[in-house]
Chains A and B, each alone.
Chain A
Amino acid sequence: MRLPMNPILPRTVTRSLAALAALAPAMLAAQAAPVASKGPTLIKNATVLTVTKGTLQNTDVLLQNGKIARVGQNLQAPAGATVVDATGKFLMPGIIDPHSHMMSDAINEGSLSVTSMVRITDVLNPTAINVYRALAGGVTTINILHGSANTIGGQNATVKLKYGREADEMVFPGAPPGIKFALGENVTRKSRTSLPGGPPARYPTSRMGQEEVLRDAFTRARDYKASWDDYRRGGSKGVAPRRDLELEPLVEVLEGKRLVHAHSYRGDEMLMLLNLADEFGFKVKTLQHGLEGYKIASEIAKHGAGLSTFADSWSYKIEAYDAIPYNVAILTRKGVVTTINSDSDERVRRLNVDAAKLMKYGGLTEEEALKTITYNGAIQLGVQDRVGSIEVGKDADVALWSAHPLSVYANVDRTYIDGELFFDRQKDIAERDAKARERQQLERAEQQTPARQQRPAQPFIPNEERR
């Protein structure tokens, strides 16, 4: 997790949100229903940015049974299909954000420095309104990561932004599991432990300690794996080892079954991790942030790690002072699979503009820039066979843009996931007056309820316990 940047005058969340909490369920219900049925959709005459197979002019794309069924010209609409005239518009794969904390009711289990046992899937809030706002930015898949408080953090969740559905339905089916690691200042917490009211010091408080925490954890995981291997080979006199929820995920890392997403800024700390991973025989899937990746680009390429970074954020803390917007270009030229991420419910809405900056800083081509927010993210999350490009057979996760998505003047018309329409700008606009009226009615209704102090004092008792 990236700590807040101290904008010129930090904004606090408006307290009126709390006052309106009582109204929220009603408002959400209004926005929750997906805006179209599951039938086929034929998008006609778009400029199609396939990302992997070039740009196709005046092309139709058929979304059917959740998949991209056909891509071509003058396609016939199947019976019952919704036909969308996309003349002058641009269709691109849904944006993938490889680093998010959206929908998380909790981000950091920060009491220990190894918390591989905790899971983001346990704290997903599917009604988070920022899911809808991200859809409006053309985003369809995000990687929800544990925070960066710990050297080894919790297990992540890859999620499709099916706003209005249950959390279980949003988890990306078949996406390989992963885990968050973190290095550097957020783990040592030194910028905060020295402040009045800051958290107490906790091991490790240095990059030396971080190396040792990793080495210790993977040494234990290797032993644990060996004891299970013994048992499975008939050893241990038939007595199974005691299950260890901390070490199980690390064994999966050693076995290549769980992807490591490692928050890191400085070149030296990334190099430490890559060397340690080589020594223990596992791969780091992505370096998250990796702001100084450009300083050790060859080493990252040699290990085979990907890198997911900000387009241009820098200087908000000491370890970010050498961040440069040319990072992605330098790494791309070395063959590293790079992506742009948001790490922010605000920035996720405009990753298209962040990608465009890569053409300015380091001269990426249009296709390379688009890949950093689509296909490359799919590779980093291990779902490149399912999403990240417009190809027949892939999931129908696409967004239709009013102009070229690398233009600052573009906005999103429609966003589809698995062929279903989850964002429709025209519908959103059309419903605004009715929603404003509903809000007014609810606010008036609130005023008519008896004053709080007149209600009989009664503790809240859940229904189950009443019975």
Chain B
Amino acid sequence: MPRIYTSTAALLAAVLAPAALSAQLGSYNPPPGPQGTFAIRGARIVTVSGPEIASGTVVISGGKIAAVGADAAVPSGATVIDGAGLTVYPGMMDAGTSLGLSEIPQGAPATVDASEVGTFNPNAQAYYGVNPQSAHIGVTRVVGITHVLTRPSGGVIAGQAALLNLAGSTVPEMNLVQRAGLVIELPRSGFGGGRFGGGFAFQTAGNQQDVARTRTRQLDSLRAMLRDADAYQNVQDAYAKDRSLPRPKQDVVLASLVAAARGQMPVLFIADRAADIREAIAFADEMKLKPIIVGGRDAWQVASLLKQKDVPVLLSSVMDLPSREDDPYDVNFGAPSKLAAAGVRFAITSGDQGAEARNLPYTAGMAAAFGLSKADALKSVTLWPAQILGIGSRLGSIEVGKVANLVVTDGDLLEARTQTKHLFIDGRPVPLESKHTDLNDRFKDRP
């Protein structure tokens, strides 16, 4: 009996998706080797958190950095890697991606799991949408990006971002922080609205009052949800202590908001314009949230406020064209140096869905071409994003006890011509192969 599809989209999805894509997606990322004891000997070591070691040894054991120093001893039984002429860096972190959530954004919607239907989705977790076999993962990690923050998008509350290592056959194997931050994009006001939001609404609504009303309604809903979440948890806690109270109902949506509503989990506010950044900070103040600005194109214009409130920025706009015609041509290239000079905590991110996350080091390098020190450029993609996301004690530098996410190169990590020679994620050696090396190997010698 023939199947009956109720819509063209369903038919297309049923016909196209299995045939066109299942054969292409996945299986390109070779699994990492097992944890063990490794010693990278005689290499230059850029620890990032401390002084550079001109020639020394890094020992990896059981997934952690076990020793580092000019004279660190190589344990017996260790697999030794000759580091002569090479440099060891901490693996880079891209804190601005939706890596693994969106494989082919245009024309293959079945490969995109980056957003949910609706406006408020605090319970949508990137952790459950990431495809651990995404070809983007293999391509990204071989340049030395070892862990990423991957986040959902869309609506006012897009969901929760996950912090993942880029090695593992399953997401739980890759997990660093399952719920690393709640993603909020405040509805915008008036002229000059942002991406999906204000500008489009302004055009379609026909008058600004409609936009303002929608915005006020959404902001009120957001406030109410955050307060409800706090109240919800109070009731749950009371019941936990006193079982004679009436048993409160469970609500997965409110439960998922509690940590953010109580300032225990960062809120990632998507905001580029100065006014939007100010508004996000004011909203966070009002609701006692723990804000991080994501995007942050004009953050340098509100640097003193960011500094005063100690609000960090995950900057994704270094490579953007200036937003105003008469802005200096290098306004966005130079923004990181201005943030650094003002003492604002920030990280540089690719701002990419995933395929181009591997350009992260050159984005940081561009900031260094326009005023940021080379040392700070390196920190902006290693230690600083880790600190901003609360895992600075575990990642971001070469220190004893930290997770062994390390990259060994033949040159400056941020230079485009530099080659990766060895890669460790979670103390596991990662083959330097990807979908790209695979296709290169198959075709480079075709007659």
Contact = CB atoms under 8 A, between A and B. Distances in A.
Contacts of A28: 325
A354 B199 CA distance: 33
A12 B443 contact: no
Range of interface residues on A (Cβ < 8 Å): 35 or more
Contact of A409 (B102, B104, B368): B368
B440 A362 contact: yes
Interface in A260-287: none
B8 A356 contact: no
A96 B269 CA distance: 40
A305 interface: no
B148 to A, nearest CB: 12
Interface string B193-204: 111100110100
B153 interface: yes
B195 A356 contact: no
Interface stretch (A56-64, A72-80, A225-233, A290-298): A290-298
B447 interface: yes
B272 to A, nearest CB: 7
Given A12-B199, A317-B104, A409-B365, A130 B136 contact: no
A38 to B, nearest CB: 24
Contact of A9 (B20, B270, B320, B356): B270
A447 to B, nearest CB: 15
B328 A432 contact: yes
B7 to A, nearest CB: 11
A324 interface: yes
B369 interface: yes
A314 interface: yes
A65 interface: no
A132 B329 contact: yes
A130 B327 CA distance: 12
A392 interface: no
Contact of B436 (A324, A345, A406): A324
B104 A15 contact: no
Given A10-B195, A11-B195, A298 B447 contact: yes
A191 B351 contact: no
B130 to A, nearest CB: 14
Contact of B329 (A3, A8, A136): A136
Contacts of B108: 191, 317-318
A359 interface: yes
A197 to B, nearest CB: 12
Given A14-B192, A409-B369, A6 B106 contact: yes
Contacts of B283: none
A371 B20 CA distance: 37
A410 B416 CA distance: 12
Contacts of A27: 325-326
A360 B416 CA distance: 7
A386 interface: no
6 contacts: A14-B323, A15-B192, A16-B192, A194-B9, A312-B359, A409-B374
Given A8-B352, A17-B324, A408 B415 contact: yes
A330 B443 contact: yes
B24 interface: yes
Contacts of A19: 191-192
B361 to A, nearest CB: 8
Contact of A15 (B136, B193, B415): B193
Interface string B397-432: 000000000000000001111110000000000000
Contact of A20 (B105, B325, B436): B325
B355 A318 contact: no
A294 B444 contact: yes
B153 A191 contact: no
Contacts of A333: 444
B10 to A, nearest CB: 12
A17 B328 CA distance: 15
A407 interface: yes
Interface string A125-137: 0000110110010
B416 A411 contact: no
A321 B102 CA distance: 12
B358 interface: yes
Interface string B300-328: 00000000000000001001111111101
B185 interface: yes
B369 A411 contact: yes
Given A6-B353, A317-B108, A360-B416, A345 B321 contact: yes
A313 B356 contact: yes
A410 B8 contact: no
B366 A360 contact: no
Contacts of B351: 7-8
Given A11-B320, A17-B324, A408-B368, A317 B329 contact: no
Contact of A353 (B103, B416, B446): B416
Given A295-B443, A350-B319, 8 more contacts: A7-B352, A297-B443, A318-B104, A322-B439, A353-B416, A360-B417, A409-B368, A411-B369
A428 B328 contact: yes
A220 interface: no
B382 interface: no
A428 B104 contact: no
Contacts of A7: 351-353
Interface in A298-340: 298, 312-318, 320-322, 324-326, 329-330, 333
A161 to B, nearest CB: 13
B196 A360 contact: no
A15 B418 CA distance: 40
B164 interface: no
CB-CB nearest 6 A-B residue pairs: A408-B365, A191-B107, A356-B416, A315-B355, A359-B417, A326-B440
A27 B355 CA distance: 38
Interface in A106-138: 129-130, 132-133, 136
Contacts of B187: none
Nearest to B197: A12
A395 interface: no
A316 B106 contact: yes
A8 B104 CA distance: 12
A70 interface: no
Contacts of B8: 194
Nearest to A12: B199
B196 A10 contact: yes
